[in-house]
Each structure stands twice: as C-alpha cells, then as structure tokens.
Amino acid sequence: MEYREIILLKQGEIARITINRPPVNVMTLNTITELNQALKGLREDPEVKVVIIRGNGERAFSAGVEVRDHLGEKLPLMLEEFGQLFKSLRNAGKPVVAVVNGIALGGGCELVAGCDMAIASEKAQFGQPEIKLGVNPPPASVLFPRIIGMKKALELILTGDSIDAWEAQRIGLVNKVVPHEELDQAAEEFAGRLLEKSGHILKLTREAICEVSEISDYEKALDLMTYRSRKIMESEDAVEGLTSFIEKRKPVWRNR
C-alpha cells in the first residue's frame, strides 16, 4: 500500500514507521488513518518482530493532531480514528517502540504513551496542552493514570505544562533517555535486545501482560497468568529455549 503522510520501511525483522509531515509532524485525520492501516497490516506480518515509530526530521516526534480536525464534521471522525489507533497499538501483536527525537505534544505525547516502550533524546519535550485550548486529551485520560499514576496524570492534563525527557523517564512515560546524537544507535541496540527473543513468545507474553493488567482482582489475575503461562511454556519455542539452556547452546527459534 502507498502512504502519503507516513513512511513504512521493513528491514529484516524490524518495521519502521515514520510520521512524515515536517517540520513538526502534526498528524491529520489521514495520518492517523495511515498509522492504523500500517499497524493492522504489520500485525499479520510473520516476518516482523518489532515495530519502531518515530517522527521525520530533528525537531519533533509529533506536535499533535491538526487543530482544524477538532472542529465541525471532522471532529467525530478524528476522535473515532484516533481512538482506534490506540486499539491498533494494543493489538499490534508485537512490541511497538517509540523513538522520540524531539517534541511530543498533544496527540504526539499520547502516541508515545500508547507504545509499549519509548526511548527519548535528551532534547525531547512532552506535554498535553489541550486544556489551554479548552479541550481534553481522550487517550491520555485513559493511559496516563495507568502509566504514571492519577496525581501526575491530573497535573499534566489539567495544567497543560510540558516536561523534559528526564522527568518523563522519572515518572515512567519513557524507558530511556540518551544524548541526541546517540538516539539512532540506542534505538537499534534496544530493538536488538528484542530481536534476540522468539517472536512467538514475545507476542504471547505481551498479550498476557496486557490482558492481566486490566484485571483488578489479584487472585483472578494470577489465575489467568498461570493459565496463559502454561500455554506459553508448552509451545515449541519455549521447549526449545529451555532445552537449549540445559544443553548449553543457543536456541533456534521457529516462532511457534
């Protein structure tokens, strides 16, 4: 499929999605639709083990969603498609890593939060300024309390203040902060740590964690994870991994 506002590049077991709307990669309704289509296609791609999302250029991951798409007839379409994007991220079937090369504001910050993991340049800035325009950020309102806690979520959403990369790491919004010139190398190394693993086990473990995280009852969550873990450990790759450890050799993954 041909995309106009994103770039999808598959290199080996990594799929790279770049938001391609310089200078600050503001997302239109079409951008969001293309992100949805790309993620849904990659979910069914057995050759891809890790997805990386980043913004084009040096200035921004994404400065958010086009303000004009918040008005009139586009509003319900934008809200529906943007909400679907976070379902696509959750159901991606493989780890999704945000590589944050600059500002990530509004919908851009929410996109970082919706990814499984994030690596940020020390120059990155994060924030939800929607409240300053008299609106609210729907995905952040769901994701932030789960990721950074209710008090910090309310602070960031209700003040609209921005935070730097180090504060984003401290509160758990990003996993790692690196010097700007080392971002690409750090992203490759991070992805490489995932590529060493069985794609099948990555998928099943990710799905299990996402599923049990929605269960508030502690014992029910444990019971479900016990069931899920048995299914995982009975898989061909799990048996191979355990056997290779006993035999002191590298595992040969078959992704099943």
CB 122 within 8 A of CB 177: yes
Three-state secondary-structure class, residue 52 = strand
Report the relative pairing of strands 60-62 and 103-105 from DSSP bridges. parallel
Task: Give the pair of three-digit tokens for residue 29.
Answer: 């309704």
Task: Give the pair of three-digit tokens for residue 47.
Answer: 């050759």
How far is it, in rounded angstroms, from Cα 170 to Cα 155? Answer: 15
- For 146-154, which contacts have Cβ atoms below 8 Å and span 24 or more sequence positions? 146/213, 147/113, 147/172, 147/173, 148/172, 148/173
**Exposure class string for 184-193: b at 16+ Cβ within 10 A, else e:** eebbeebbee
The distance between the two most distant Cα atoms of the chain, rounded to a whole number of Å, is 64
Report the relative pairing of strands 14-19 and 50-55 from DSSP bridges. parallel
Task: Give catalytic status of residue 247 as yes or no.
Answer: no
Task: Give catalytic status of residue 211 as yes or no.
Answer: no
- Considering 2, 73, 110, 189, which one is annotated as catalytic? 110
C-alpha distances in Å from residue 254, one per residue of 195, 201, 207, 251: 13, 10, 19, 9
Task: Give the pair of three-digit tokens for residue 142.
Answer: 């769901």
- Considering 5, 130, 189, 207, which one is annotated as catalytic? 130
Active site residues: 110, 130
